[in-house]
Amino acid sequence: MATRNELYAKFGITAEAAQLFETELGTLLLCARGLESGWHVVPDGASGRDLLRDIDRSTLGGLLTKLKRHVEIDDDLSARFASALAARNRLNHGFYERHNFKIQTDEGRDVMMADLEALHEELFTAWQLAGAMTSLASEVIMRERERGNQTA
């Protein structure tokens, strides 16, 4: 049976996965826009800073919308990311309110813990997928940069 402290710890770990997913999407968007703009060949710090500022001000849903304008995402991956967004929203917008007084009992805390486990799995998987995409984008940038240096 889950204790309050275990429940609070799992909430924090799940929130971390949500933030890492969001950060990874922002990094992927930065990579995509940088590649489109040729910043790997001719750096443009001012434009990069402006984009980073825009990314930092964006919501998770906004990041997903912006990302789809610059990165081709198939329907399955889009659905997974949308599901992760919904999981993040369920976590951050009313998790404790939805579970109401369940925290008062051992059985209720176990229900809450099971919900957090499912949310964490959803968010962690989305973070890993976004991270794999960012790694691939970084490899492309490095290859393109190397190619540019060889022709210069």
Does residue 152 carry a pLDDT above 70? Answer: no
pLDDT computed for residue 147 by the predictor: 81
Structure confidence by residue, pLDDT tens digits, 74-130:
999 999 999 999 999 999 999 999 999 999 999 999 999 999 999 999 999 999 999
Using alpha carbons only, what angle is made at residue 102 by residues 98 and 106, rounded to the nearest 5 degrees?
150
pTM, rounded to two decimals: 0.90
Q: Which helix (H) or strand (E) holds 74?
A: none
| Cα 113 from Cα 3, distance rounded (Å) | 9
Distance CA 57, CA 133 (A): 22
Block residue for tokens 């929203």:
89
The C-alpha atoms of residue 89 and residue 91 are separated, in whole angstroms, by: 5
Q: Can you count the helices (H) and strands (E) in the chain?
A: 6, 0
> What was the pLDDT predicted at 29?
95
> What's the average model confidence in pLDDT over 7-11?
98
CA 116 to chain centre: 17
Average pLDDT over residues 11-16: 98
